[in-house]
Structure 1
Amino acid sequence: MPGRTAPPTENEPDVPAELAAAVRAYLGHLAVERGLAANTLSSYRRDLRRYTGALAARGRAAIGEVAEDDVRAFLAGLREGDADHPPLSAGSAARAVVAVRGLHRFALREGLAAADPAREVRPPAPPRRLPKAIPPADVERLLACAQAAAESGGPADAARGLRDRALLELLYGSGARISEAVGLDVDDLDLDEGFARIRGKGGKTRIVPVGDYARRAAEAYLVRARPGLARAGRGGPALFLNARGGRLSRQGAWMVLRAAAERAGLSDVSPHTLRHSFATHLLDGGADVRVVQELLGHASVTTTQVYTLVTVQVLREVYATSHPRARSRRVR
């Protein structure tokens, strides 16, 4: 029956069963046929839960009853907030609208609706934020500090120091995301040939070179540190292990970076800072943007081109401070 509702979950309003079924079918499609990552699916699920709750409040019981005004009202509600939700930034609201637009395209394709009411609703354009990179000298200081514990502590500290140096060298040397780095297995790293097999978003695999510094750091970790860490538990094939012998988590890797940044005297450094620095330094060195795209695992070169803006900005600053006729002198 159209008026029947699905049982609400925690903090979720009553949602008509047909709406809930459409969302479940769409999320299943994303998981099975599109291979979206668990974190992405979780975000879509959260956004669509809020959307169907808003539709239910407007009296919509099925996906085919939704009109364009309903979608626009939802977008306005995201930006304005309400008693239960703070206002969302343009970027967060855009992500939610992308999920909504995907749901309605799916419903139209699967015959669950006769039209797509979200087709003309455009997500708000988030302000363009240039990726933050740190200078090569700061990267070198950060990487050196990652192994500081290995030079002053006991055997356990030494093992963790070797692991930390290998992890951060690999993050910067390959441009891997932190989730990709901690997801590496020992067999994904070929030190003889100098490459790593990285599993990226959507289950896509790419091969990236591993430079000499990262190779030496990884070899030192594998020979002198990982065997001892592995004895503490069941790390299985995982490359990077925690103190208990299990696979190092994203949070654990984040703490490794934060500790090294503090020792290096650097602030506001995240795992993505190393990824941004990897791309920016390659482009500064003359690498082609499409090569950088492949190394980063971007599906579109448009995503990678934001790094070229950083490079142009640096060139402009150098020109302004170096060329004798870059700026006019005021005549008094």
Structure 2
Amino acid sequence: MNYSADSLPPIKLIPLNKETVSAPERQRTNRPTKIAAPTDIRWVKVLEFLRSNNLAPNTRKLYERELKRFLAWTELHYHELRSRHFGQYKEYLMQEVHTHEDKPLSKSSINAGIAALKSFFKWMCLAYPDIIATNPTLSIKLEKVPLPPAQSLTPEQMERVWSALELLGETKQRDTALVHILSHGLRAGEIVQLNVGSFDSKLLFLPDTKTNEPRLVPLRKESREVLAEYLQAREEQGEVLNSLSPLMISHHPSYQGERLSYHGIYFAIEKIGELALIEDLHPHQFRHTYATDLLLLGVDPTHARKLTGHQSEKAFRRYTLRSEQSAAIAAYYRAIGEEDVE
């Protein structure tokens, strides 16, 4: 059978998506067709990693930024990556990436990028062993950097914090309870997850921690009483509390009565710092103060690490340095017969 051009059915163009522009319209607007960028399948795994891990907001933000930087550096799929590629990427961070001030990245910043990769690929090996059977980041080493000193608050600064709490208005009772909890070494992210049932009138039970290990935190008598009074006041104001009610609640007009957020904790402490005239006061300084004070009180470092939830002995070393120095100074004065010298 012979076909002529006139006998063939007309060709019908079917648009593939809503952003496809018809030929006549393109001719009228004289603009190129807008095509949606394809989704990088590798990024889908990153998002799954970020969702499935109990990361503090700041850590999540850092990991997201560093993993995005890595995926922009290479087009290789995860199963194609080898140890040498991560060595090359480390060189790239050291030699080609600069800060906004056009300075090379510090060793700490380089380590942050490497740590994000190590955490992600460790997770990939566990979650998708069919894609990555062996962690390719094991051979890449972190840069050696001196351990930063503990950012402990002095006794005089703590006195100013307690005094500043008296100047607060509506949030005074909640923020007083918040500082008492922070002063027992809890991370801000751990406090966010606490419920009323986490407090048994003596101890705080933390089921979800940064190290994924449950932890019991004993509270001082004064702190127990402050926390109990805070919860009693909420009930007297008509709130019905149960074991799943948030331990700390927001006073923000848009989130009144809801669980106090990570950023809400930082904002509250920042405000207290302004009243106490302590520049850049942040929640983690109370954790540093707690760990340092435990050792100065003579608590065994192993027990102190259990109370603070530190897994790494190396990370905890910053606190032992100060207690060892204080012990050495005291030993010197005892040796020369000046025990009472201030």
Name the TM tier (shorter chain).
0.7 to 0.9
- Cα distance in 2 for residues equivalent to 1:116 and 1:285: 42
- Cα distance in 2 for residues equivalent to 1:145 and 1:114: 55
Matches within 5 A, 1:102-251: 102-103=119-120, 106=124, 110-112=129-131, 118-149=137-168, 157=169, 159-172=170-183, 174-191=184-201, 194-198=202-206, 199-201=208-210, 203-225=212-234, 227-228=236-237, 230=239, 237-243=245-251, 244-251=256-263
- Cα distance in 2 for residues equivalent to 1:317 and 1:15: 65
Look up the SS of the partner of 1:237 in the other structure.
coil
Query: CA contact under 8 A between 2:177 and 2:223: conserved in structure 1?
Result: yes
**Equivalent of 1:98, from 102, 115, 120?**
115
- Cα distance in 2 for residues equivalent to 1:132 and 1:47: 26
Change in 2 beyond 3 A, CA 1:103/1:249:
closer
1:163-205: CA deviation from partner (whole Å, max 9, x where unpaired): 1111101210x211122223321121121xx111123115532
How far apart are 1:225 and its partner, in Å?
Answer: 4.9
Residue type of the alignment partner of 2:222: Y
- Cα distance in 2 for residues equivalent to 1:116 and 1:182: 33
User: Which residue matches 1:329?
Assistant: none
How far apart are 1:291 and its partner, in Å?
Answer: 1.2
User: Which residue matches 2:269?
Assistant: 257
- Cα distance in 1 for residues equivalent to 2:46 and 2:153: 40
How far apart are 1:66 and its partner, in Å?
Answer: 3.5
Query: CA contact under 8 A between 1:48 and 1:100: conserved in structure 2?
Result: yes
- Cα distance in 2 for residues equivalent to 1:42 and 1:15: 23
Query: CA contact under 8 A between 2:204 and 2:216: conserved in structure 1?
Result: yes
5+ long unaligned stretches in structure 1: 1-13, 150-156, 327-332
Query: CA contact under 8 A between 1:133 and 1:274: conserved in structure 2?
Result: yes
How far apart are 1:283 and its partner, in Å?
Answer: 0.6
1:84-111: CA deviation from partner (whole Å, max 9, x where unpaired): 9764322221122133345556469825
1:297 has 2:309 as partner: yes
- Cα distance in 2 for residues equivalent to 1:256 and 1:103: 32
Change in 2 beyond 3 A, CA 1:305/1:16:
farther
Change in 2 beyond 3 A, CA 1:325/1:256:
same
Residue type of the alignment partner of 1:282: L
Look up the SS of the partner of 2:225 in the other structure.
helix
How far apart are 1:22 and its partner, in Å?
Answer: 5.0
User: Cα RMSD between the aligned structures?
Assistant: 3.5
Residue type of the alignment partner of 1:62: H
TM-score (norm 1): 0.73
Change in 2 beyond 3 A, CA 1:275/1:103:
closer
5+ long unaligned stretches in structure 2: 1-35
User: Which residue matches 1:37?
Assistant: 55
Look up the SS of the partner of 1:141 in the other structure.
helix
Residue type of the alignment partner of 1:271: P
1:232-262: CA deviation from partner (whole Å, max 9, x where unpaired): xxxx711222222222222222232233233
TM-score (norm 2): 0.71
- Cα distance in 2 for residues equivalent to 1:321 and 1:284: 17
More helix by share: 1
1:53 has 2:72 as partner: yes
